[in-house]
Structure 1
Amino acid sequence: MLIRTNTVEPLVIACDESGNDGENNLKGNSSVFVHASVAISTEAAQELMDEVRARTRSMTVELKSKTLLQPRNQAVAQWLLEHPELTDRCSLLYVHKQFFTVSKLFDSTAEEVAHAFGEDMYGNGAALSAATILFFAGPGAFGPQWFALLDAFEAFLRSATADIARRRLDELVTRFLDILTTSESPVRDFLEMAFTGVQHLEGLSRLQLGEGIAERLRTADPLLAALGGTVNEWKIRSGRPIALVHDDAKELTPARVERLKDAIQHPERVAASMAGTGADVTDIRLVDSKADPRVQVADLLAGLGRAVAEGLLAGKPHQLLPGLEPMQSRFSIWPMPDHVHPQNARATANESRQLLVGDQ
């Protein structure tokens, strides 16, 4: 683990991702998004990439994880994961896209209602617990109606115009009512909590469409959520300001980068319980991955992590899993069965908050 220091020199983190389908979380090419980050020097990263190329005999300009995932190169992948240069100097933040969507649905509705009445569902763990219950119990309790509801919610968020958004919001309300008027499952109560906050989606839609702001929000894009988690992970590890070097991504426009930096630095604007947990982001610089070996290493790790996570969801544990587990970020957005119990969800939220507050 990196040692805390009193210096104000920012810690430079190089990042890349795998499984990026933008806001198409439910029907994209991947069910998992992985954001990888490394805190290593350019020289060390170049040596790692040179050695990986030599061991795989790869001459491609942009070496990808699919090369390392070939059976004949599994030993090379294992070598990379176990390399001392990466020990405690890399992080993989996993996002389960369907769980991310369920959480977004609850946060955008029920949590907004609670916030209006002065309840902090983030701080007390209720939001995480409710989303976890819906994720695990929704399919069995509601069947195809559940997936139709999630599809309608995602379609609403991705609306291209205000007229389309209004029609899709009506469709979402219909999907809610389909379940609420036919189901007798106890899980129905959690969905009813979400339904009480549907009116808040109108305001969210305006932001999603970019009305009154510099550029439309992308609240359903895992990349933006993962960047915040990555910064917080390295803040906890180092106690230092963070500077990000990231592979160029069209989603990371100057306006979104500035909004993201502000959200990371002032999380109390979302939840009062997060006061004092902001992180100092000094820079987010986009680069061509082919020109930065640190980003290339992050790209390999992200690809390996996604392949192993996809296999795990399919019931096929991968032999690289033990090497990847120590790299998992505590800010991964992943459904944990223990979090169906509010006290466990609250404990997780409190632990993260205490670590973020640190010595402030």
Structure 2
Amino acid sequence: MNGTSVADGARVAEVACDESGSDGENLTGGNTLVFAHASVRLPVETAAAHVQEIRDRIRSPAVEYKANHLLREKHRAVLEWLLSPDGPLHGHAHVHLVEKAFFVVDRAVDLLLDDPDAALALFRQGRPTFGDAEWREFLTAANRLLRVRHAGDARAPVEDFFRTVDRLRRAHSGSEPAGILERLAAARSRALSYRAEIDGGPAPLVPVLNPLLPSVVRTAAHWSAGGRPVLLAHDRQNMLTPDRIAWIEDTARRQGVALAGVRLVVAREDARVQLADFLAGIARKIASDELNGHGEPALTALLRPYTGPRAVWGDEPSWARLGPVAEAGDCRTELNSAV
């Protein structure tokens, strides 16, 4: 398709997607800090011409180009051209960013308290209050509590998490996050029920710790915001089984998102997906650098037009630089409505 098709009498925009930063359920101990889901809306022929121009500019003998080709310092001019207002992606691409540490906190607090405001407050107050080591301990315990795959005693993740919460609650009584810790400490029964359900039955269709599925919904919401139905052509991904694609489509429908469907494609056979792959990897690297405090202002400014206000992001200083200009002061997420 060249960007549009006809379904049920309505013109449907086709958008190609890919992701970067998947670490399975190991969100706090994996290789990346950020998950990025990128999407590109261009005719296939136009995208192919852009990919060929990238190859002509970089002149690498590699059969398949990836984002790291563009991220090399010797190809900085190509990277800046790709993202620039005069480049091929401007106005035709979008990237949904997920800060993995915040995703874990948000999912844990949603499970135990069903309170998104508490998740954001705990995330922003936790690290400066607890210190790096204790904050990392809390994140690791929360990740273990939520992850589906666990070897050993089924109760161990629950006990480990609540020991961590109790230790922090005692050590930091009177601090800003103390009230949230008290509420978490009282939610043991909900954690036990969650572990009993996932340990005693089949694996859940939608793992709590997987950011891909809600990100696909958010991508569809972005492109269909004007009311035009959108069909997503997504790079093949083991997580995107037929049942999970059905979940994505049903979730989008319940949220009023005009998603006409999701189809899987082979990246090397679709230049639009290749461009989405470039953007996802580039965005993940730039956003990770901002989180680590050594972002490059010029690259961050080039990425900013592609990011959306619905990012799952808790770190306020970095989002002030990464987020859309009109939304820079608001990095609240609507994740809870997407899972």
Are the counterparts in 1 of residues 105 and 139 from structure 2 also a CA contact under 8 Å?
Answer: yes
Question: Unpaired segments of 5 or more residues in structure 1?
Answer: 1-6, 112-120, 122-126, 267-276, 354-360
Q: Does residue 106 of structure 2 align to residue 87 of structure 1? A: no
Q: Is the 8 A contact 2:148 2:207 kept in 1?
A: no
User: Within 5 A, what are the aligned runs for 1:140-179?
Assistant: 140-143=128-131, 144-160=133-149, 164-179=153-168
How far off its partner does 1:336 sit?
A: 5.1
How far apart, CA to CA, are the structure 2 residues paired with 1:234 and 1:285? 16
Q: Which amino acid aligns with 2:154?
A: A
Give yes or no for the alignment of 1:222 onto 2:211: yes
Offset at 1:102? 1.1
Equivalence for 1:281: 259
Preserved CA contact (<8 Å) 1:209 1:216: no
SS in 2 for 1:186: coil
Matched, 1:264 2:252: yes
| Displacement over 6 Å in runs of 4+ | 347-350
What's 2:126 paired with? Answer: 138
2-structure distance, mates of 1:153, 1:207: 17
CA contact (8 A) 2:221 2:258 kept: no
**TM-score, normalised via structure 2 length:** 0.84
| 8 Å contact from structure 2 (residues 83, 89) kept in 1 | yes
Q: Report how many residues are paired.
A: 316
1:97 maps onto 2:124 in alignment: no
% identical equivalent positions:
31
Residues 227-255 of structure 1 deviation map (CA, whole Å, 9 limit, x = unaligned): 1211111121x312221111111111112
> Counterpart of 1:232?
221
Q: What's the TM-score, normalizing by structure 1? A: 0.79
Shift of 1:260: 2.3
Deviation at 1:203, TM superposition (A): 4.1
Who is 2:309 aligned against?
330
Q: Deviations over 1:47-71 (max 9, x none)?
A: 1000000000023221011111111
Report whether the alignment pairs 1:291 with 2:269.
yes
CA distance in 2, matches of 1:256, 1:208: 17
Say if 1:36 and 1:90, in contact at 8 Å, map to a contact too. yes
Q: Distance in 1 between matches of 2:162 and 2:332?
A: 31
Matched to 1:56, the amino acid is I
Query: Which residue is equivalent to 1:205?
Result: 195
Match of 1:304 among 282, 297, 313: 282
User: Is the counterpart of residue 58 in structure 1 residue 48 in structure 2?
Assistant: no
1:209 CA displacement: 5.1
- Judge conservation of contact 1:22–1:222 (CA < 8 Å) in 2: no
CA contact (8 A) 1:132 1:336 kept: no
Q: Secondary structure at the match of 1:62?
A: coil
Deviations 1:266-304 (A, max 9, x none): 2xxxxxxxxxx4213222111211111100000001111
Amino acid across the alignment from 2:293: G
Q: For the aligned residues, what is the CA RMSD? A: 2.9
Alpha-carbon distance, 1:263 to partner: 2.0
Change in Cα spacing, 1:162 to 1:265, as seen in structure 2 (3 Å) is: farther
**Kept after mapping to 2: 8 A contact 1:208/1:218:** no
In structure 2, the residue matched to 1:106 is: 109
Alignment of 1:241-252 (within 5 A): 241-252=229-240
Displacement of 1:348 in angstroms is 7.6
Q: Which moved more, 1:328-337 or 1:28-37?
A: 328-337
Q: Deviations over 1:164-196 (max 9, x none)?
A: 432211221222221223321131102222333
Identify unmatched segments of 5+ residues in structure 2: 1-8, 320-326
The amino acid that maps onto 2:236 is D
Paired with 1:303 and 1:153, the residues of 2 have a C-alpha distance of: 27
- Counterpart of 2:300? 321
In structure 2, distance between residues paired with 1:200 and 1:9: 45
